[in-house]
Amino acid sequence: MMKKLWPHARPYAKWIGFGILCSGAEAVFELLIPLVMSDIVDIGIANGDQSFILRKGGLMVVLALVSLCFGLGSAVCSSVAGQGFGANLRRAEYDHIQTFAFSNIERFSTASLVTRLTNDVNNMQLSLMMGMRLLVRAPVMLVAALFLAVRISRQLSNVFLVSLPLLAVVVAVILARVNPIFRSLQEKTDALNLVVQENLTGIRVVKSFVREPHEEEKFSRRNSALKSTSERAFGAVVINMPIMMLIVYGTIIAVMWFGGKLVYAGALDTGKLITFFTYITQIMMSLMMVSMIFMMLTRSVACARRIVEVLEEVPSITDQEAQSQQDGDGILHPAVVADGSIRFDHVSFKYVPEAAEWILRDIDLEIRSGQTVGILGGTGSAKTTLVSLIPRLYEATEGTVLVGGRPVKEYTMEHLRDAVSMVLQKNTLFSGTIRENLLWGDPNATEEELWNACRAACADEFLERLPDGLDTDLGQGGVNVSGGQKQRLCIARAILKKPKVLILDDSTSAVDTATDAKIREAFARELKDTTKLIIAQRVTSLCDADLILVMDGGRIAARGTHSELMEHCALYRDVYRAQQEGVSIGG
């Protein structure tokens, strides 16, 4: 685990080293102070030597100031290193998440990824900061104070033989108890974040179904689960305090008892006894620090494990098998998609490898470049799944998907997805202006090209009515445009890529029939060479396609042109008739 995390801290190695040195030095100077004090009592006060007392008093002030300076230095170094480490870790996680395929993200859930990126990293950075301050300071204080205490009186130091092992046992017991609780604490945080995230992204649905009370209840359930787990974890941690205090005071009483006797018998100076007390406090304080460090480390080990899980997740779709091809001059280039032909060669697919049921079963399909293919089928018949395999959003479990005559694996994702443009069923616009969103399709598109794409997607009419036109600000996730307008902008964005294959997944569902027809006409005119796959619920959206696929339960139940299907496929005929009736009743 350290091997995975250390590279992100390495750029701050100097700060870490310097900070640790500072905190060690701080501890040493703090330890010298009681020694001077012992001199003041035993020599200065005993002899009534005022100038000696003043001189030694001055020395104590200087020592305290030096120790303060080192303390400040260590604080500065630890914050620089801690914050820097946190930032590096966050960036590494974020960058790695960008390489994830959908299936990787589904395995973690987005809420958990957010927690791992924020909360867990915060914990790690706090641990590093505290660790740098205490990890050296506490043992240095402990060993030095013990050494000095033994030097003052070996006899009296025997007290530690009882109290130190006792403390160790207490700490060990507490650590064993909190360790599992800390892991579950982070999981509870995930669960809470999931509720918050779902609620906020779906706030419109929540409000329209008046589900606020239900959502509140769901939130408060998870919130109290988190609270009770935290209480259990930190309850065990704070119990640490009173038990330790009990042992500390027990030790002090024992030292008073035996020390008093020694002083009485003349075997020990009063000054030495006072100094001894200071050391006991320091020993006990540093033991408390050590136990605190252990608690903190236990928690950050839980967090570190979660972060490393993300960093070690192997993206399920990579460019590893991408192939090169030679150009005319014999120079090797990554393979590019030659044309828009698509072939499914006995493809089967399931989202979860362990699932018993196949989502797609033995699909065999051949689409020529430039064809328009309509896909029809009931909800859950795996239409979206089928087309997702073309831009390799998911990987076929069995069989091969070929685009432009090559298996999709042989292209880099960049080249494949440049050539295959998909308008998703749940499409998204990002905050920013309309222009910025459209430029995702082609960053170098001219004004002319932008408007052409918008015209093809029938987005021009409403854009012209907007006072700021293309520069209208969309707000977060495109809340400022209607559902149909959003769909048209997403289509325009996909067209701008000038793809070899264009996939529209139910992308005109919120567009009226007349506009839908206009968009299809524009496609036939503007995108002659592009293979077009159109998933639609309305038969009228598909009936002029070169090939229509009727999907049913993960299989292609029937295929053919509109007239062929009307003749042979009862299912298709029924759907068509039902929809025509709907039109005649509605119209």
Name the residue nearer to ligand ATP (CB basis): 182 or 394. 394
Structure tokens of 382? 């795996």
Q: For residues 396 and 384, what is the distance between their CA atoms, to the nearest angstrom?
A: 13
* Nearest residue to 134 (alpha-carbon basis) of 278, 286, 30, 6: 286
Q: For residues 465 and 450, what is the distance between their CA atoms, to the nearest angstrom?
A: 16
CA 366 to chain centre: 40
Task: Report the residue closest to Mg ion, judged by CB.
Answer: 384
What minimum distance in Å lies between the beta carbon of 380 and Mg ion?
Answer: 8
Residue 116 binding partner per list ligand ATP, Mg ion, none, with a CB distance cut-off of 5 to 8 Å that depends on partner kind: none
Residue 217 binding partner per list ligand ATP, Mg ion, none, with a CB distance cut-off of 5 to 8 Å that depends on partner kind: none
CA 510 to chain centre: 33
Residues at the interface with ligand ATP (CB under 6 A):
106, 351, 359, 377, 379-385, 425
What minimum distance in Å lies between the beta carbon of 554 and Mg ion?
Answer: 13
Task: Report the residue closest to ligand ATP, judged by CB.
Answer: 384
Contact (Cβ atoms closer than 8 angstroms) between residue 471 and residue 480: no
* Nearest residue to 276 (alpha-carbon basis) of 582, 5, 35: 35
Contact (Cβ atoms closer than 8 angstroms) between residue 541 and residue 516: yes
Residues at the interface with Mg ion (CB under 5 A):
384, 425
Name the residue nearer to ligand ATP (CB basis): 526 or 552. 552
Residue 56 binding partner per list ligand ATP, Mg ion, none, with a CB distance cut-off of 5 to 8 Å that depends on partner kind: none
CA torsion angle 83 85 90 93 (round to 10): -170
Structure tokens of 339? 């044309």
Name the residue nearer to ligand ATP (CB basis): 233 or 565. 565
Residue 281 binding partner per list ligand ATP, Mg ion, none, with a CB distance cut-off of 5 to 8 Å that depends on partner kind: none
Name the residue nearer to Mg ion (CB basis): 270 or 425. 425
Name the residue nearer to ligand ATP (CB basis): 38 or 384. 384
- Coil, strand or helix: which one is 294? helix
* Nearest residue to 17 (alpha-carbon basis) of 77, 84, 57, 70: 77
Strands 547-552 and 555-560: what pairing?
A: antiparallel
Residue 11 binding partner per list Mg ion, ligand ATP, none, with a CB distance cut-off of 5 to 8 Å that depends on partner kind: none
Name the residue nearer to ligand ATP (CB basis): 351 or 430. 351
Strands 555-560 and 342-349: what pairing?
A: unpaired
Residue 298 binding partner per list Mg ion, ligand ATP, none, with a CB distance cut-off of 5 to 8 Å that depends on partner kind: none
What minimum distance in Å lies between the beta carbon of 143 and ligand ATP?
Answer: 57
Name the residue nearer to ligand ATP (CB basis): 293 or 375. 375
Contact (Cβ atoms closer than 8 angstroms) between residue 446 and residue 517: no
Residues in the chain, how many? 587
What minimum distance in Å lies between the beta carbon of 378 and Mg ion?
Answer: 11
What minimum distance in Å lies between the beta carbon of 202 and ligand ATP?
Answer: 17
What minimum distance in Å lies between the beta carbon of 551 and ligand ATP?
Answer: 6
What minimum distance in Å lies between the beta carbon of 479 and ligand ATP?
Answer: 23
